């Protein structure tokens, strides 16, 4: 309990963590609220109200189909969170398993994993996501898959590196000497000790996934209409940039704030969870 209290105390004093957590709360809170309430129907079309400027009824105005922009941004947060979270969870699940396996087995498993990671890193990520989404069809599910694939080598590398360092530690050697198998050691000793590194990485990858989802849906390869997504809203806004320039402001601002929040939270967590890094950064 005291460890949690110490962490909370330090977290409260950490500027980057505080701003990041606040922005993340705003982001998640908006998505959650939109499940129950939005000012107007996010998919309600009203052609006679198209391209209206901000007003008391429509706080952020309306789009080219007369839909309420604020409501669409609120529901768009759900899409971003769902795609980002699923992609990172999927990529993390597979990547951590592979990385931990490579660190435990070494030899050819390790070599094969490193080479496959190099291969995936050699591809421009956006292009492979485009390739996958265009072959499998444009949908939020396929966007999740395309983004998840790039998270696998990231998590595999991070886990492998951190786990390899753990395998050399005395308490792990002691567990080996006591006859514990590699799976048991990985689950009971290695993974809990590399968890903080993984949490930091997951936060940063979540930010990357939100950017990737926005990019894919801007290209029309993410969630399909009428489901609101921030990237798609920007695409539509661009067509009407001369009539309603402000339409292009809000969805982009939403993406930037969400990503900024997660990046700052990630930086803060890295400082708070890894004292060695904190010393290095201060120095």
Contacts with another protein, residue ranges (CB under 8 A):
115, 118-119, 122-128, 130-136, 207, 211, 214-215, 218-221, 231, 234, 237-238, 241-242, 245, 248-249, 251-252, 255-256, 259-260, 263-264
Between the alpha carbon of residue 112 and those of residues 102, 151, 189, the distances in Å are 9, 17, 24
CB of 218 to another protein, least distance (A): 6
Between the alpha carbon of residue 236 and those of residues 24, 150, 213, the distances in Å are 26, 27, 16
User: Interhelix angle for 191-218 vs 69-105, to 10°?
Assistant: 140
By CB atoms closer than 10 A (0-12, 13-18, 19+), residue 278 is middle
CB of 26 to another protein, least distance (A): 14
Nearer to another protein, 185 or 207 (CB): 207
CB of 167 to another protein, least distance (A): 24
Nearer to another protein, 85 or 130 (CB): 130
CB of 166 to another protein, least distance (A): 26
Nearer to another protein, 125 or 165 (CB): 125
CB of 252 to another protein, least distance (A): 3
Nearer to another protein, 148 or 259 (CB): 259
Task: Measure the CA–CA gap between 246 and 272, rounded to whole angstroms.
Answer: 39
Nearer to another protein, 13 or 48 (CB): 13
CB of 244 to another protein, least distance (A): 11
Nearer to another protein, 178 or 280 (CB): 280
| CB-CB neighbours of 132 under 10 Å | 18
Nearer to another protein, 31 or 212 (CB): 212
Dihedrals φ, ψ of 63, to 5°? -95, -165
- CA 105 centroid distance within chain: 30
Partner residues linked to 68 by β-bridges: 62
Nearer to another protein, 11 or 257 (CB): 257
Task: Measure the CA–CA gap between 221 and 144, rounded to whole angstroms.
Answer: 11
CB of 73 to another protein, least distance (A): 13
CB of 162 to another protein, least distance (A): 21
- CA 48 centroid distance within chain: 38
């Amino acid at each position: 309990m005291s460890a949690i209290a110490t962490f909370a105390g330090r977290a409260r004093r950490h500027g980057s963590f505080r701003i990041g957590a606040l922005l993340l709360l705003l982001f998640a809170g908006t998505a959650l609220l939109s499940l129950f309430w939005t000012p107007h129907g996010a998919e309600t079309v009203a052609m006679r109200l198209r391209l209206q400027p901000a007003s008391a009824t429509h706080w952020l105005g309306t789009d080219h189909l007369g839909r309420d922009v604020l409501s669409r941004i609120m529901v768009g947060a759900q899409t971003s969170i769902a795609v980002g979270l699923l992609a990172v969870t999927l990529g993390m699940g597979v990547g951590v398993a592979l990385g931990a396996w490579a660190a435990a087995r070494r030899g050819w498993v390790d070599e094969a994993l490193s080479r496959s990671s190099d291969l995936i890193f050699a591809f421009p990520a956006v292009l492979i996501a485009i390739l996958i989404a265009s072959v499998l069809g444009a949908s939020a599910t396929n966007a999740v898959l395309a983004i998840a694939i790039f998270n696998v080598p990231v998590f595999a590398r991070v886990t492998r590196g951190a786990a390899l360092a753990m395998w050399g530690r005395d308490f792990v050697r002691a567990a080996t000497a006591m006859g514990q198998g590699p799976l048991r050691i990985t689950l009971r000793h290695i993974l809990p000790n590399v968890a903080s590194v993984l949490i930091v990485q997951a936060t940063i990858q979540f930010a990357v996934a939100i950017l990737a989802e926005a990019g894919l849906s801007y290209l029309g390869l993410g969630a399909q209409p009428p489901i609101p997504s921030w990237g798609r809203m920007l695409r539509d806004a661009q067509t009407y940039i001369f009539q309603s320039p402000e339409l292009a402001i809000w969805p982009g601002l939403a993406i930037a704030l969400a990503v900024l929040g997660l990046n700052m939270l990630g930086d803060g967590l890295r400082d708070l969870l890894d004292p060695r890094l904190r010393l290095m950064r201060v120095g």
